[in-house]
């Protein structure tokens, strides 16, 4: 089948709508992952062994099971117990919860990288726990956290293609629908690859800018 440029250009409005939905899902999923990952990380430092054990099990479970299975559970299984979510919301929650397990480890590694002597020194000069976190620990830990956080966000962008399996009309789903309707898959799938590449490059550029900004915290 020869390449049809007129057909290709006619696909762009539909695919760009899908690309925008992909970006929204990635940004919303990243926000959830950052917040929930922080909760997991802080809870992991709890003095209560039961809580630490529960958090450790949750993180291992989320990391040890496929994102696709988790999406299916949220979208197809939860309705059996009365929890019905729109496809897009289910997909965003699935992405965010899944990646929160990875970001929890990023938080933990960043915090642990700060010399423990600084905790003792901060306590010795009577700084409050809040002051220690805001002025001593986080300014040193955040620059080290940004690169892996950005990489996971880019990974989430690419894995957002799985949202098509729960009927979210993101980029891949729209390309598949076009192919099924026209029996031409070469053009839409090629454009999907190029759009994902473009989005990945833009996210990478944003990550580089964020890394430079974070470095000023040191």
Give me the residue spans of the domains in the chain: 5-215
pLDDT, tens digit only, all 218 positions of the chain: 588 899 999 999 999 999 999 999 999 999 999 999 989 988 887 788 898 899 999 999 999 999 999 999 999 999 999 999 999 999 999 999 999 999 999 999 888 888 877 777 777 787 777 787 777 877 788 888 888 999 999 999 999 999 999 989 899 999 999 999 998 999 999 999 999 999 999 999 998 888 888 777 65
- The gap from C-alpha 129 to its chain's centroid, in whole angstroms, comes to 29
DSSP state of 83: -
Task: Give the three-state DSSP class for 50.
Answer: helix
The pTM is what?
0.88
Give me the long-range contacts of 210-218 (CB less than 8 A, separation at least 24): 210/146, 210/150, 211/143, 211/146, 211/147, 211/150, 214/142, 214/143, 214/146, 215/143, 217/138, 217/139, 217/140, 217/142, 217/143, 218/139, 218/140, 218/143
Say if domain 5-215 classifies as CATH 1.10.3720.10: yes
The set of residues, in sequence order, having a beta carbon less than 8 Å from that of 12 and lying 6+ positions away, is 191
């Amino acid at each position: 089948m020869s390449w049809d440029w007129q057909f290709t250009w006619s696909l762009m409005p539909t695919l760009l709508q899908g690309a925008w939905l992909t970006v929204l899902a990635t940004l919303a999923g990243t926000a959830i992952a950052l917040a929930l990952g922080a909760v997991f990380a802080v809870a992991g430092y709890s003095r209560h062994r039961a809580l630490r054990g529960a958090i450790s099990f949750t993180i291992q479970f989320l990391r040890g099971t496929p994102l696709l299975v988790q999406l299916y559970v949220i979208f197809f299984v939860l309705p059996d117990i009365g929890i019905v979510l729109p496809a897009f919301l289910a997909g965003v929650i699935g992405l965010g919860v899944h990646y929160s397990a990875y970001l929890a480890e990023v938080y933990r590694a960043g915090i642990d990288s700060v010399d423990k002597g600084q905790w003792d020194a901060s306590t010795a000069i009577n700084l409050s726990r809040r002051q220690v976190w805001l002025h001593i620990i986080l300014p040193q830990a955040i620059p080290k956290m940004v690169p892996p956080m950005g990489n996971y966000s880019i990974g989430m962008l690419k894995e957002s293609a799985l949202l098509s399996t729960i009927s979210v009309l993101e980029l891949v789903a729209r390309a598949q629908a076009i192919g099924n309707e026209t029996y031409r898959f070469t053009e839409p799938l090629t454009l999907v690859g190029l759009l994902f590449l473009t989005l990945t490059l833009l996210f990478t550029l944003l990550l580089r800018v964020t890394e430079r900004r974070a470095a000023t915290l040191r």
